[in-house]
Structure formats: C-alpha cells, structure tokens
Amino acid sequence: MKKASVGSEMKKQEESRCTQKTISLLSPLGTIQVSGCENGVHTIQILMDVAPAERSNEAPLSCVVTDSPAETSPEMQRCVEWLQAYFTEPQTAGSLPLPAFHHPALQGDAFTSRVLQVLLRDVKFGETVSYKRLAEMAGNPRAVRAVGGAMRRNPVPLLIPCHRVISSSGQSGPYMSGRGDHLKQWLLTHERQRGEG
C-alpha cells in the first residue's frame, strides 16, 4: 500500500470509531443536518427539501432545531449556535467561535484542506473571491480547477463559505454540483443585505 493510502486508511478508521450524532435544523434554506462527534463536526448537509425563504423586513429569518439527540457535544452545540446566528443575526456570526472540524478532508496538508482553510480564514462575511484568486491565495495559481474540486468536497458548507467563491467573470458559478445554484444566490444576497443593515 502506498504511504498516502495508508494515511488515508488510518483517517477513515479513526473517523469510523467516532460515535456520530445528527442534529436537524429548519432554516430559511430548508432542512440542514449537522453530523458530528465529541471531537467536532463531520458534515453539514443542506437537504433542499423546500424553496429558500422569501425575505421580508417584517418577518425575521429563523433557524430552529427540529430533531436532536438527548445529549450533544459542545462542538455540535457551538455549530448549532453559529448557524442560528448566521441566519437570524448574520453580522454577529463572525464574532462567534466556530466548532472544531473532524473530517479527513479538513485534516493534514492536502491541497483541498489548504484551500478550505484559506477560504475560511481570509474570505469574510459579505465578500466573494474568484476560483482563480483563491488558487493564488492557496499557493498554486494554476490550480483553478482543483479549487473547484475542493469546493465540491467541502464537508461543512456555510461554516466554510464555499458559496463565496465565484467565477472570474463575476457570475456566481455552481453550488452543490449545480443543484443548489439558487441557494448560492440566496446566501450571497443574504450576506449583502445583512451586511448593509
């Protein structure tokens, strides 16, 4: 077995030893499922089970827990609090601590991990960055397509804001392999509107 394969296998075994729990939230995007363990958040899935909420100045947006195990780890609770703030008071989300992440794609020094960490650290609420510029920021200006691959493999969308990565032409580009383009537009508008207010 190659050295990289051995490391990958060890990470998979370590993750499989985790006792994962899932929390479901009803958000303006529909149901969001957060899965994680004592060590951190593994994945966030946007189920796309309803159309995104219409915005109104009268009705505030909400994000409520609809299903949760009796006990959740502090990291899972931190994730829920961050998501609730993002939708209801997004300007405060940036000041809240993020949960720990516990997913192999976010561990180590692989290009995907590096791109996602640069995106998280350097592209703030209400900002966007092109795939090309993100490749440059991650240290490989010619890896534009690899940046797109890293966005597709992002296990924790919203927390690591892959929706903020757009094409060089200014077009929003695909989200959730093209199935969630309308969600990307919603998120970008949400951040622009809430950043102004």
Residues 9-33 pLDDT 10s: 545 555 457 899 999 999 999 999 9
Residue 144, SS3?
helix
Residue 173 CA neighbour count, 13 Å, CB half: 21
Catalytic residue among 37, 63, 79, 162: 162
Q: Which distant-in-sequence residues (6+ apart) come within 8 Å of 150 by Cβ?
A: 111, 112, 115, 116
- Is the pLDDT assigned to residue 127 strictly greater than 80? yes
* Annotation: CATH topology of 21-94: Double Stranded RNA Binding Domain (3.30.160)
User: Is the distance from CB of 186 to CB of 116 less than 8 angstroms?
Assistant: no
**Paired tokens of 97:** 């601590």
* N residues, the chain: 197
In this predicted model, what pLDDT tens digit does every residue of 161-171 receive, in sequence order?
A: 999 999 999 99
Q: Which residues contact 128 (CB under 8 A, 6 or more apart)?
A: 164, 165, 166, 188
Q: How far is CA 42 from CA 12, 33, 85, 101, 160, in A?
A: 12, 11, 20, 6, 12
Banded pLDDT at 121 (limits 50, 70, 90): very high
The verdict on whether 162 is a catalytic residue reads yes
Q: Helices 111-122 and 144-152, interaxial angle, to 10°?
A: 80
- 26 bridge partner residues: 31, 64
CATH number of 104-193: 1.10.10.10
Q: Considering the chain, what percentage of its residues have pLDDT values greater than 70? A: 87
> Any idea where the domains of the chain sit in the sequence?
21-94, 104-193
Q: Which pairing describes strands 129-130 and 165-166: parallel, antiparallel, or unpaired?
A: parallel
C-alpha span between 181 and 136 (Å, rounded)? 24
**How many other C-beta atoms are found inside a 10 Å radius of the C-beta of residue 79?**
28
Please give the single-letter amino acid code of residue 186: W
